[in-house]
Structure 1
Amino acid sequence: MNHHEDEFRLHTPEFNKLNTKLDRRHFLTKTSLGMGALALGSLFGANKLFGAGAAGAASQNPGELSEDSQEAILRALPHFAPKAKRVVYLFMSGGPSQLETFDYKPKLNEMFAKQLPDSVRKGQRLTGMSASQSSLPIAPSVYKFAKHGQSQTWVSELMPYTAKVVDDLCIIKSLYTDAINHDPAITFFQTGSQLPGRPSIGSWVSYGLGSDNENLPTFISLVSKNASGQPLYARLWGNGFLPTEHQGVQFRSGKDPVLFLNNPEGYDGADRREMLQYLKQLNELQNAPIGDPEVDARIAQYEMAYRMQTSVPEVMDTSDEPDSVFEMYGPDSRDAGTYAANCLLARKLLEKDVKFVQLYHQGWDQHGGLPGGIRHQCKNTDQATAALVQDLKQRGLLDDTLVIWGGEFGRTVYSQGQLTEDNYGRDHHPRCFTMWMAGAGVKPGISYGETDDFSYNITQNPVHVHDFQATMLHLLGADHERLTYKFQGRRFRLTDVHGKVVKDILT
């Protein structure tokens, strides 16, 4: 061995850890940590105490905890008592117009076709579609609004079912984002960054808080079938640089709800169990000399897939639901894969203590023909959305389930393209838009934040995307500044270096 190799070994402790035998000091240190983890795990349950990643490491080889697992113990998640045990996030892809749903602006009726004042626009950037227009004519909504519930909250006539549960909702009218186009805007909401590659919001929850059901994935995504609009990518529920067991699992309608889950033809359960046992042994042999956490993740995923062969068919079967439930969710709830059917399936998954369920519904991008387009979207989603809130409430699940509804941005007050009294379109608008939350730890029956008379700028209580993410994690018992993962020399988190909890909306 030459002088340069000696210097490399001397200054590279990671190299020595992988290529030297375990000395007495390291052995005693690691085994003491392992025994402590076992003792704590037996009292509290490893998943709930450390998160799924740490629990997996402790259960498979507690005497040799990785640095990430030791750090998970120090994080001691949850950081404080959670209000929410689970989340269902109804993502309306395309950007629903706040002007036609929740943000009532009656003064616009007197300003039909007038030019948007420069004092309102304030030089804010436009998309390429609007920038090419010679004028920005104001388009009042053609739909009526009315006050509903004891809270006397304004809701559009397009959402009669949501209006019935409005006293359970916290409607936030002052969301804003950094992105003006769909892909970066959706990616920003789902991962905390406009650039692809970061872990999704559900993956962060899985990594930090683990699972309460060992037979189903911690994070499940459902995409409405036969919906068109901006494309949705698997990376929106991907794990990014987190261990792969934290990626979202997409459930589909049809014969195979989860791809590659069923046994191959001519294979039975006993054969698969034997094959997995031998595969586990091979993976453990591979893992022994290198200690790669991805090998542990691979073993855990194979085991989960085996257990899901029994649990998935059971949870996907809605045939035992009474007719009254299907009537509550609407006629589409009997058609697997529709938004209504996915809302019903989401309730079943939440009952099974799946930690994070995300529904994606495309088609809210109405650059033209908005009055007809948004009426169609509301008809397909309004009843089932309200039914989910109502169903969770009557089953006692809304108290510890957080329900979220919203898209990636809002729409402009001015018309994109030709404007008539009954037809217009709206461009993307990131400066203010509306979302709502309901359930665990959120004040019911309130509206939070205000926008100007044009629904163009926020005038009170702005809520950034990172603030929303921080608040969601807070309700789950996680401090967004402490839920981190070290990757390529830097500690990352969902909210990057931003975000604050919106305490005014919390109970």
Structure 2
Amino acid sequence: MSILPQSLYSRRELLKKSAVGFGNLALLSMLNDEAQASQLKDPLAPKEPHFTPRAKRVIFLFMKGGPSHMDTFDYKPQLQKYDGKPLPFDKPRVQFAPTGNLLKSPWKFKQYGESGIHVSELFPNVAECVDDLCIINSLHGTNAAHGGALLKLHTGSDAFVRPSMGSWVTYGLGTENQNLPGFITICPTLAHGGVKNWSSAFLPAPYQGTPLGNAAVAAKQAQIEYIKNDFLSRKVQRKQVDFLNDLNRMHQAETGPNQILNDRIGSFELAFRMQEEVPEIQDISGETEATMKMYGLDEEKTADFGRQCLMARRFAERGVRFIQVSHSDQKVQWDQHGNLLEGHGKNAKEVDKPIAGLLKDLKQRGLLKDTLVVWGGEFGRTPTAQGKNGRDHNPEGFTMWLAGGGVKSGIKYGATDEFGYYAAKDKMHIHDFHATLLHLLGMDHEKLTYRYAGRDFRLTDVAGHVAHGILA
């Protein structure tokens, strides 16, 4: 029986007056389907790159404090010749601190490999791998202070909170292992930007870097927080997570789609899966004695950074997209305003063998060809002396090197002036470095964007050019 009096509406009139309502019902159904689909879609699922990539993943070996390029991988014979003389051209208008005359390197350089590239005696082990390196001697930035320079290198901006390059890479490509984060940072520094250097900022939460310990914790004790639950069984935890997820989804059914809540649900699920996989990755008892020795785990001075590098390889081979390893001694770092000889000498001894071990291990496992290894700090040092035996910050010209991942091997790209102060040939700004890194991963830096606050943002802001000269 009809609930409407026949005298009020005919069937034709009823359809005519309710047609818009039917459309609204259809629209609501479509939106609900779309919302459910967005909830089911994993933001860390692998994504297609813009074009065929040369590299699948990145390992970034970050030397906090700014290693001196003219004492490591940028040989300057003129600096040796004119030691103690005034710099024959103007210093930058903005300097971090006053410096004096030219200061020669206290270390000798020697040619290595078939490429014949000069490497300082600070890095005898890495020098054995020089034919696998693409040494970029023409980096330059815009900030002479650690905080701004770290943010510039990691996020592309030295003044604003922006997503880190690891977050951009994970946003663009997802990850190959759904049981692990796409971006892991091992023993990161908490100074000079701290978490902002591995933050996803306004990108969705799944692209945030996951810290494994921090610089104040020995690598052997470094863990992802709360990775173990000593009170509840896996079965009980699974029930807890399922119940919590059900409550969250019931809430969304009433209030509508909520990206933040979706990310929270995803984080609970990922954390549960990580509890099983991460401890296994960190358990290196199955590694051979030869491998341990190759990374320097048998020596006290190299054991800490060696373990970090070994962890990087183990995470890389399990599909983590971006892994950062930081050498950040809380007392010395690479920031030698004085006592260059002792400070750089100590630092190099701690990292030289582990870095060479990582390169050799990746190569013998067939991982180097599609893993991009990056080495460097936030800036270089001045060729002029600070005090009697130190060097000041220098963002005007410095060195980073790459290996694997589709770059030319056994080459030097670009150059600083004859003393090493300014980038002079084939200059590569930090934006250019980021553009090139994304290109090697198969992404066009101008197309990898995210709309926030009414603007399309990208890692390279409104700049950046790919350095095609380093591509294999």
1:87 aligns to 2:61 (yes or no): no
Aligned 1:182-193 pairs, distance under 5 A: 182-193=146-157
Give 1:335 deviation, angstroms. Answer: 9.5
In structure 2, list runs of 5 or more residues that go unmatched.
1-21, 214-218
Query: Does 2:212 match 1:251?
Result: yes
**Greater Rg over alpha carbons, structure:** 2
1:182–1:230 Cα contact (<8 Å) kept: no
2:398 paired with 1:433: yes
CA distance in 1, matches of 2:24, 2:180: 37
Normalising by structure 2, we get a TM-score of: 0.88
**What is the Cα deviation at residue 393 of structure 1?**
0.4
Deviations 1:278-305 (A, max 9, x none): 1101111233323121111111110011
Alpha-carbon shift at residue 336 of structure 1 (Å): 11
Q: How far 1:239 sits from its partner (Å)?
A: 1.1
Deviations 1:44-75 (A, max 9, x none): xxxxxxxxxxxx9847346xx9xxx9xx99xx
Instruction: Tell me the amino acid that sits aligned with residue 234 of structure 1.
Output: V
Q: Which residue number in structure 2 is paired with residue 241 of structure 1? A: 202
Q: Which residue of 2 aligns with 1:375?
A: 345
Q: Write the deviation string for residues 300-336 of structure 1: whole angstroms up to 9, x where unpaired.
A: 1100110111101100000111110011111367899
Task: Please list, as runs of the form range in 1=range in 2, the aligned pairs for 1:469-480 lying within 5 A after superposition.
Answer: 469-480=434-445
Runs of 4+ in structure 1 off by over 6 angstroms are 333-337
C-alpha distance after superposition, 1:138-165 (max 9, x if no partner): 1011110011100000100110001100
Give the aligned residue type for 1:408: E
RMSD: 2.6
1:211 aligned to which of 158, 169, 175:
175
Aligned residue identity for 1:406? G
Taking structure 1 as reference, are residues 267 and 273 closer, same or farther at Cα in structure 2, changes over 3 Å only?
A: same
2:284 counterpart of 1:313: no
SS in 1 for 2:60: strand
Please name the residue that 1:285 is paired with. Answer: 250
Corresponding residue for 1:345? Answer: 311
User: Is the 8 Å Cα contact of residues 92 and 361 (structure 1) preserved in structure 2?
Assistant: yes
Work out the CA distance in 2 between the residues paired with 1:452 and 1:430. 14
| Structure 2 contact 163–201 (Cα < 8 Å) conserved | yes
Q: TM-score, normalised by structure 1?
A: 0.82
Structure 2 vs 1, CA of residues 230 and 30 (structure 1 numbering), >3 Å: closer, same or farther?
Answer: closer
SS in structure 2 opposite 1:357? Answer: strand
Change over 3 Å in CA distance of 1:407–1:57 after alignment to 2: farther
Q: Once the two structures are superposed, what CA deviation does each residue of 1:389-444 show, in whole Å capped at 9, x if it has no partner? A: 11000000011100000000110011011x2xxxx100001110000001011000
Q: Is the 8 A contact 2:302 2:351 kept in 1?
A: no
Following superposition of structure 1 onto structure 2, how do residues 27-42 of structure 1 map, counting pairs within 5 Å? 27=29
Distance in 2 (CA, whole Å) between partners of 1:24 and 1:142 is: 76
**1:396 counterpart (366, 376, 401):** 366
* Residues 207 and 336 (structure 1), Cα distance of their counterparts in 2 relative to 1, 3 Å cut: farther
**Matching of residues 479-490 of structure 1 within 5 Å:** 479-490=444-455
C-alpha distance in structure 2 between counterparts of 1:487 and 1:379, whole Å: 44
2:238 corresponds to 1:268: no
Does 1:366 pair with 2:336?
yes
Matches within 5 A, 1:52-201: 58=37, 60-61=39-40, 77-117=48-88, 119-121=89-91, 123-127=92-96, 129-130=97-98, 136-201=100-165
The residue type paired with residue 185 of structure 1 is: A
Q: Specify the alignment match of 2:12 in structure 1.
A: none
DSSP-derived class of the 1:338 partner: helix
Partners of 1:112 and 1:139 within 8 A in 2? yes
Q: CA deviation at 1:106?
A: 1.0
Question: Counterparts of 1:21 and 1:286 in 2: how far apart (Å)?
Answer: 26
**Partner secondary structure for residue 353 of structure 1:** coil
- Decide whether the 8 Å contact of 1:77 with 1:478 is kept in 2: no
How has the CA–CA distance of structure 1 residues 205 and 416 changed in structure 2, closer, same or farther, with 3 Å as cutoff?
A: same
Conserved 8 A contact 1:86-1:355: yes
Distance 1:281 1:30, change over 3 A: closer
Aligned-partner Cα distance in 2 for 1:292–1:377: 47
CA contact (8 A) 2:136 2:414 kept: yes
Shift of 1:89: 0.4
CA distance in 1 between partners of 2:251 and 2:84 (Å): 69
Q: Distance in 2 between matches of 1:21 and 1:408?
A: 57
Q: Structure 1: which 5+ residue stretches go unaligned?
A: 1-19, 35-55
Q: Distance in 2 between matches of 1:57 and 1:290?
A: 10
> 1 or 2, which has the higher helix percentage?
1
Contact preservation (8 Å) 1:85, 1:400: yes
Aligned partner of 2:3 in structure 1 is none
Q: Assess if the C-alpha contact under 8 Å between 1:333 and 1:342 holds in 2.
A: no
Question: What SS class does the counterpart of residue 181 from structure 2 fall into?
Answer: coil
Once the two structures are superposed, residues 256-280 of structure 1 have per-residue CA deviations (whole angstroms, 9 ceiling, x without a partner) of: 71112322x5321111111101110
Q: Shift of residue 109 of structure 1? A: 2.2
Which structure 2 residues correspond to residues 312-331 of structure 1 after superposition, within 5 A? 312-331=278-297
One-letter code aligned to 2:143: A
Aligned residues: 440
